């Protein structure tokens, strides 16, 4: 029996399931192949489970500081196994909801490895599927270094730490990108002694230098040890040897130097989306790619917001100051402590930095509670070329963090 579909999708992550749902809504017949679990890296071993654990860490951190708020909690402690159980429940609940949504939309899900045998033919589970159009979005995996490999016991990947049953006494994190920074904050909030090793001159090197410097200051106040302009030369007998000469003896190591696209053979006529396409490794980027392919709704790939979660959140969009020619731009820098809401929330650390040129915002960098939401407001303004003068006419509610954007506009 010949199995024929309008659209075949290999990979059920954000790009895959978004394409499937949008195509089904347009009346197309859709088959989606997923050898593991629907939801991909983001739902099962990335964004969602990490943020679920991060929430537990932040609540525990707030409890430790609650006396200053007039709240007294006795005998508080962490049962990390319960933290992981809650994370698993959150992931399972969201995955089941996604699976139900796909089923109700008429998407056929094949839980098997799939292989392209042509630009419109897919082989899976000893069956052949003919598809008028094929999308491949097979994701990525944690990256290793030439001299450091995962053993999944001492040297852990970001997948491994999601399933720890107990907290280590201390940990070395290699890499200070989004993954390394978020896990440093998680472990530190739970009382783990954290050391982070970064080859670059600053932590979070992809960010604006003012953001990096603020992260370094935050880490210092939280007693997270940092080794900058340094790297791991070797790991032997559970000892970590740094180029600087330092020797660390942690209970375990998290290797967090990014992710690599899963290898696929590229075939003409096939669309590649998400991490596997080798561009921006963010779930929202993959989702927008899928919407563009299915619905024809374009988007600017230069205006994809970045967010690093934790307290305070870190977010940015557009140009970084270190990439701009001196004298070619204007900037404002507002301390979050200038906002009444930050004092009410006991969250005064951070700033809002806006870069502009010719009356238009060209970049923004925020360290603040609710930074993920704040950066979206600025993204909308940049993308729609709303001038600073027009933004000044908007009424921002008080007391909010958003009014920090309003205040920043009058400093440009």
DSSP string, 109-145: EE-S-EEESSTTEEEETTEEEEEEEEEE---EEEPPB
**pLDDT averaged over every residue in the chain:** 97
Give residue-wise pLDDT tens across range 202-233: 999 999 999 999 999 999 999 999 999 999 99
* Average pLDDT score over residue span 30-54: 97
* Average pLDDT score over residue span 363-367: 98
Exposed e or buried b per residue across 260-290, where buried means at least 16 C-beta atoms within 10 angstroms of its C-beta? ebbebeeeeebbbbbbbbebebbbbbbbbbb
The domain 306-409 is placed in CATH, from the list 3.30.390.30, 1.20.1630.10, 3.30.70.330, 3.50.30.30, at: 3.30.390.30
Q: Hey, what are 318's tokens?
A: 């557009």
Of the listed ranges 15-24, 69-78, 187-196, the least confidently predicted one is 69-78
Tokens 């030369």, located at residue: 233
> Where does 236-321 have alpha helices with state H?
283-295
CA distances from residue 315 to 94, 222, 379 in whole angstroms, order as listed: 25, 20, 11
Structure confidence at residue 92 (pLDDT): 98
Give residue-wise pLDDT tens across range 237-259: 999 999 999 999 999 999 999 99
* Average pLDDT score over residue span 272-286: 96
Instruction: Give ranges for CATH 3.30.390.30 in the chain.
Output: 306-409
Beta strands 193-198; 225-228: pairing state:
parallel
Rounded to whole angstroms, the Cα distance separating 136 from 120 reads 11
Percentage of the chain modeled with pLDDT above 90: 97
Q: Hey, what are 70's tokens?
A: 């007039």
Rounded to whole angstroms, the Cα distance separating 109 from 161 reads 29
Instruction: Give ranges for CATH 3.50.50.60 in the chain.
Output: 3-140+260-295, 144-257
Q: What topology is assigned to 144-257 in CATH?
A: FAD/NAD(P)-binding domain (3.50.50)
- Confidence band, pLDDT 50/70/90 cuts, at residue 1: low
Structure confidence at residue 224 (pLDDT): 98
* Average pLDDT score over residue span 30-34: 98
The answer to whether residue 391 scores a pLDDT higher than 80 is yes
Half-sphere exposure of 331 (CA within 13 A, CB side): 21
User: CA gyration radius for the chain?
Assistant: 23
* Average pLDDT score over residue span 297-312: 97
Q: Could you tell me which residues come within 8 angstroms of residue 31 by beta carbon, excluding any fewer than 6 positions away?
A: 3, 5, 7, 8, 9, 107, 108, 109, 110, 122, 129, 131
* Average pLDDT score over residue span 345-361: 97
Q: Does the reported pTM lie above 0.75?
A: yes
- Residue 251 near residue 156, CB atoms below 8 Å: no
Give residue-wise pLDDT tens across range 325-337: 999 999 999 999 9
Structure confidence at residue 22 (pLDDT): 98
* Average pLDDT score over residue span 395-406: 98
- Kindly report the length of the chain: 412
* Average pLDDT score over residue span 336-340: 98
Give residue-wise pLDDT tens across range 110-165: 999 999 998 899 999 999 999 999 999 999 999 999 999 999 999 999 999 999 99
Structure confidence at residue 240 (pLDDT): 98
* Average pLDDT score over residue span 342-368: 98
Question: Is domain 3-140+260-295 in CATH 3.40.50.620, yes or no?
Answer: no
């Amino acid at each position: 029996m010949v199995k024929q579909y309008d659209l075949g999708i290999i990979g059920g992550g954000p790009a895959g399931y978004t394409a499937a749902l949008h195509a089904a809504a347009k009346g197309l017949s859709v088959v989606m192949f997923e050898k593991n679990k629907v939801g991909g890296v983001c739902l099962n071993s990335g964004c969602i489970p990490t943020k679920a654990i991060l929430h537990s860490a932040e609540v525990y951190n707030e409890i430790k500081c609650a006396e200053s708020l007039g709240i007294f909690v006795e005998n508080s402690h962490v049962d990390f196994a319960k933290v992981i159980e809650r994370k698993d429940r959150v992931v399972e609940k969201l995955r089941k909801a996604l699976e139900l949504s796909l089923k109700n939309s008429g998407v056929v899900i094949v839980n098997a490895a799939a292989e392209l045998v042509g630009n419109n033919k897919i082989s899976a589970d000893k069956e052949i599927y003919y598809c008028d159009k094929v999308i491949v979005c097979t994701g990525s995996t944690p990256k290793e270094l030439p001299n450091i490999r995962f053993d999944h016991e001492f040297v852990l990947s970001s997948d491994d730490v999601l399933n720890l049953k107990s907290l280590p006494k201390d940990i070395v994190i290699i890499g200070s990108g989004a993954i390394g920074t978020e896990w440093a904050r998680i472990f530190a909030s739970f009382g783990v002694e954290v050391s982070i090793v970064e080859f670059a001159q600053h932590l979070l090197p992809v960010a604006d230098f003012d953001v990096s410097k603020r992260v370094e200051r935050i880490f210092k106040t939280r007693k997270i040890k940092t080794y900058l302009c340094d790297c791991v030369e070797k790991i032997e007998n559970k000892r970590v040897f740094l180029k600087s000469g330092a020797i660390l003896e942690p209970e375990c190591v998290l290797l967090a130097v990014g992710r690599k696209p899963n290898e696929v053979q590229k075939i003409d006529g096939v669309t590649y989306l998400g991490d596997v396409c080798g561009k921006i490794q963010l779930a929202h980027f993959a989702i927008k790619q899928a919407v563009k392919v299915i619905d024809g709704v374009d988007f600017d790939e230069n205006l994809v917001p970045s967010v690093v979660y934790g307290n305070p959140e870190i977010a940015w969009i557009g140009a970084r100051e270190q990439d701009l020619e001196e004298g070619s731009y204007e900037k404002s820098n507002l301390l979050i402590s200038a906002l009444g809401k930050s004092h009410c929330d006991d969250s005064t650390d951070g700033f809002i930095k806006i870069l502009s040129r010719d009356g238009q915002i060209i970049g923004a960098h925020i360290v603040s509670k609710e930074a993920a939401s704040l950066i979206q407001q600025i993204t909308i303004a940049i993308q729609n070329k709303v001038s600073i003068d027009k933004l000044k006419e908007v009424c921002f509610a008080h007391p909010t963090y958003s009014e920090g954007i309003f205040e920043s506009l009058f400093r440009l």
